[in-house]
A and B are shown apart, each in its own frame.
Chain A
Amino acid sequence: MADKKIKPEEMAGIDYGPPHRDWMDPSVEFIKGSYCYAAPLKNQEILQLPNPRQWNPQDPDWKLPPDFKRIILNGMKDRLERYRSWKLYLDICVRCGACSDKCHYFIGSGDPKNMPVMRAELLRSVYRRYFTVGGRLWGKLGGARSLDEQVIKEWYYYFYQCSECRRCSVYCPYGIDTCEITMMGRELLNLVGCTTEWVVGPASNSFRTGNHVGIPPHAMKQSLESAQDDIKALTGIDVNVPINKKGAEILFVTPSADFFASPAWFTLMGYLMLFHEIGLDYTFSTYASEGGDFGLFHSAELAKSLNAKIYAEAERLKVKWVLGGECGHMWRVIHQYMDTFNGPPSFLEEPVSPITGTKFDNARSTKMVHICEFTADLIHSGKLRLDRGRNDKWKVTFHDSCNPARAMGLFEEPRYIINNTCNQFYEMPENTIRERTFCCGSGAGLGPDENMEVRLRGGYPRANAVQYVREKHGVNLLACICAIDKASFPPLLEYWVPGVETAGVHELLGNALIMRGEKRREADLRGEPLTGNTLSEGGQHGV
């Protein structure tokens, strides 16, 4: 990666000085490391996307369809009529600037067009020109710009430098949500065939194989079997991993990165150990083998299409309800979109924990429960024996992932699990956690390696807060509940804060969980030796 050559000290020397040019002149330079590659033709065709073609953002000519202007303006009109959020948020911004320093991409880059208000103005200026009286009458004086190819290029650049994390919307006095702006901006770009490989590729994989990495069913089974082997080696216990099992009580859906990628793999081991220990009657599905929904980063239609598999599979397998693993935007979709997209799931029952009898009343309509809600309930009901000491090598901090934080409000459950599985937990500064949390910098389809500089810059504010607790408390582990976090933090932290590892909350649970009949644990889930007094069998009761 070319961008690795930039030293952290250099990258942190960010210039927030006044920009030299007025923003209304569209200008964008596609520098290596700061943009995502275009989707290859093959994947555009699998998903039957409009105006498919082979192209490259660095090309001077993007081969836009000849009537691209009409396509975009019609697309805007259609969305203005379908989304109150979008129409309202194009209209009511007063440019107070409260959001201007809240975006992690702005903080990490100093690029003024990464201020949330500016990102929206890139669209608003075109909206004003074609849809408002003032813009038509006054032109530039009225803040209006004509639509041309340069504007499209600018949109592509900046709507793929927004991770739809909604942090700015927390601070906006009217709740203007840049996520809505970016989503619509990307939908408009889709209409003229401008999409990125890292969104369309995983989405087309999910469409065909059920998961974003494109693992076929037999490979998924093999992968789960190796997790079984690892657990056997560690605990001496044979855990059962049912796949596509009809009549199971619960369908478990988790992001597919858990099936192969480190450190998500250790989270998967944690799930399997937990389900075995409590004797859960559940099943994985190979058809609905992806919790994450890359369609969300593309369009509402594609998000709905990919999400449809979860309910379809729940119905086919005749389960009672659905349990979902640790993931960020997956939970945005499940919590705020799934029931609307593909519900109501009348074939399911209101979720009840078969172990504790707790009714998950908060999921009574969607009928899908977050694994942290499920596990926190188990711990609170005293159903798990936990040895916190087995996590004593970790000084843990917790990263609130954007979507579970700001689109769900899942703050306490993961913290409760961490506090019951670890002895040393330290929070990052309050302006950087909970609803004010910073994105990892790689969310919403910004995760490909060719985009590394944007990712490192966008992740800088988070890494900086981690560095603070590392210096103050010696923190060496960042716990999180998001698959993109687990993929993006290892390189990010290695760059900015070497010595801090990344783990899912259920990896910590897997370490601490005392399983019936387990052999003396010599190592943690990573295969690294346990230290000192934590070797004792049984250990202390965690609750």
Chain B
Amino acid sequence: MSLAAKILYPLAMVTLLVLLSLLTLVGRDAEFIFAVVIPYLALTCFFAGFVYRVVRWAQSPVPFNIPTTCGQQASLDWVKSDKIESPCCNWGIAGRMALEILLFRSLFRNSDMQQVGQHRLIYGGNRWLWLGGLAFHWSLLIILIRHLRLFTEPVFRPSLWISAIDGMLQLALPALFITDFIILAAVSYLVLRRLVSTRVRYISLASDYLALFLILAVVISGILMRSFFKVDLVAVKELAISVITFRPAVPAGIGLPFYIHLLLISVLVAYFPFSKMMHAAGILLSPTRNARNDSRMVRHVNPWNRPVRVHTYAEYEDEFRQPMIKAGIPIEKNNLPAEQ
């Protein structure tokens, strides 16, 4: 699979989606399909797929307790143990998972291996991926909360507060959101990184580019329709409320930019459960992170603990009884034919 193909196929797919949105210009029925039918299908796909994937993971048991310990175990009283990186109680697990999910703790450790001179390897800190990833995910969360104002009447208060803070830098009109630019920069960084770094380029799949291009297209279409090609926000909200209250009605004249944005989101959401984006749920189930380092304190039970063939002591002694007697090693049975 050539690099060009890995990039061009996803790019073509995103372009095709944008073009498909043009169909909303055909008439009101087409608008209904794009504004109501496709989003419903996408959401159904998302929720059903999401639950299915998580249930399938959860159905496979965790046969062994395998936390990756990144700090001192709890052992002797006077040895200070690391409650977070080597947790042996549930609070420790909560702390470890919270750090991992909210602050990307493990990624924060990232280093960059370099050869210096001829014979020196050094591992300098490399926090760019951590920063880019964190900026992207936090912006995404804030943007999602901001969008809640479109789905709630009366408006969900925190959504307004967050919008107010996010829009503080009103350099231009209408209010420009800080997170719009952060997410644009962060996703662009993540795309460029895949293209520029030889190692990351080598490991990247078409699906990695697809996810990034889809998100980038959603972000760009969102910014464009907000700041450049104005859409009728009142109509958008009317549609959003009608859809989530299951009384779908499509107001006229919302405008093409909105339908582009909506179709991209619908596809992204429908694709989510079948993609690597499921890491969002997977991290919670990861046995190297969510398990207590207490396996010598509390027995971990393997539900399928299969019986195995063992070589018993009796079989062992049968083979080595004579030399054991000769060497004066205590044995169990003394009167067997083997000795006579």
Contact = CB atoms under 8 A, between A and B. Distances in A.
A5 interface: no
A92 B78 CA distance: 39
Interface string B194-227: 0001111111111110000000000000000000
B289 A174 contact: yes
Sorting the interface of chain A by its residue count into under 10, 10 to 19, 20 to 34 or 35 or more gives 35 or more
B64 A336 contact: yes
A198 to B, nearest CB: 20
B72 A339 contact: no
Contacts of A80: 60
A112 to B, nearest CB: 6
Interface string B282-321: 1101111100011111111110111011111100110110
B276 A87 contact: no
Contacts of A133: 274
Nearest to B197: A97
Contacts of A432: 123
A308 B308 contact: yes
Given A134-B207, A175-B106, A175-B289, A301 B69 contact: no
Given A340-B302, A407-B69, A18 B133 contact: no
Contacts of B61: 82-84
Contact of B100 (A173, A222, A316): A173
Interface stretch (A30-38, A164-172, A230-238, A451-459): A164-172
User: Among the interface residues A18, A173, A246, which one has the most CB atoms of the partner chain B within 10 A?
Assistant: A173
A194 to B, nearest CB: 21
B296 A368 contact: yes
Interface in A189-219: 207-210, 216-218
B118 interface: yes
Interface residues of B, number: 107
B203 A115 contact: yes
Interface in A338-381: 339-341, 343-344, 358, 360-366, 368, 373, 376-377, 380
B274 A96 contact: no
Interface stretch (B108-116, B176-184, B244-252): B108-116
A435 B324 contact: no
A286 interface: yes
Nearest to B286: A175
B288 A85 contact: yes
Interface string A323-336: 00000000000111
A393 B330 CA distance: 42
A85 B107 contact: no
A410 B286 contact: no
B287 A95 contact: no
A92 B76 contact: no
Contacts of B158: none
A117 B63 CA distance: 24
User: Among the interface residues A102, A174, A308, A341, which one has the most CB atoms of the partner chain B within 10 A?
Assistant: A174
A95 B205 CA distance: 8
A134 B63 contact: no
Interface stretch (B17-25, B79-87, B145-153, B258-266): B79-87
B121 A177 contact: no
Nearest to B53: A91
Contact of A405 (B1, B69, B107, B319): B69
A340 B64 contact: yes
Contacts of A376: 76, 79
Contacts of B254: none
Contact of A362 (B58, B75, B317): B75
Interface stretch (A440-448, A460-468, A534-542): A460-468
A217 B85 contact: no
B71 interface: yes
Contacts of A280: none
A312 interface: yes
Interface stretch (A63-71, A139-147, A152-160, A525-533): A139-147
A467 B122 CA distance: 12
Contacts of A101: 111-113, 199
A88 interface: yes
B106 A91 contact: no
B73 A87 contact: no
A406 B288 CA distance: 10
Contacts of A95: 200, 203-205, 208, 276
B329 interface: yes
A245 B87 CA distance: 38
User: Among the interface residues A96, A405, A461, which one has the most CB atoms of the partner chain B within 10 A?
Assistant: A96
B231 interface: no
B295 A336 contact: yes
A156 B340 CA distance: 49
A261 interface: no
A281 interface: no
Given A91-B282, A339-B299, A83 B69 contact: no
Contact of B57 (A84, A96, A218, A221): A84
A12 B68 contact: no
A344 B285 CA distance: 26
Interface string A119-142: 001000000000011100010111
B308 A362 contact: no
B62 interface: yes
A382 interface: no
A380 B323 CA distance: 42
Given A341-B305, A408-B73, A88 B285 contact: yes
A27 interface: no
Contacts of A100: 199-200, 203
B199 A175 contact: no
B95 to A, nearest CB: 15
B129 A373 contact: no
A432 B113 CA distance: 11
Interface string B1-26: 11001100100000000000000000
Given A174-B282, A435-B70, A362 B202 contact: no
Interface string A488-525: 00000000000000000000000000000000000000
Contacts of B185: none
Nearest to B309: A305
Query: Can you list the 5 inter-chain pairs with the closest CB atoms, starting with the nearest?
Result: A409-B73, A409-B69, A92-B282, A218-B327, A175-B288
Interface of A: 9, 12-14, 16-19, 22-24, 48, 80-88, 91-98, 100-102, 107, 112, 115, 117-118, 121, 132-134, 138, 140-143, 166, 169-177, 180, 207-210, 216-218, 221-222, 243-246, 286-287, 300-302, 304-305, 308-309, 312-313, 316, 334-337, 339-341, 343-344, 358, 360-366, 368, 373, 376-377, 380, 405-413, 416, 429, 431-432, 435-436, 460-461, 464-465, 467-468
7 contacts: A12-B118, A217-B323, A287-B316, A340-B301, A362-B74, A409-B81, A432-B123
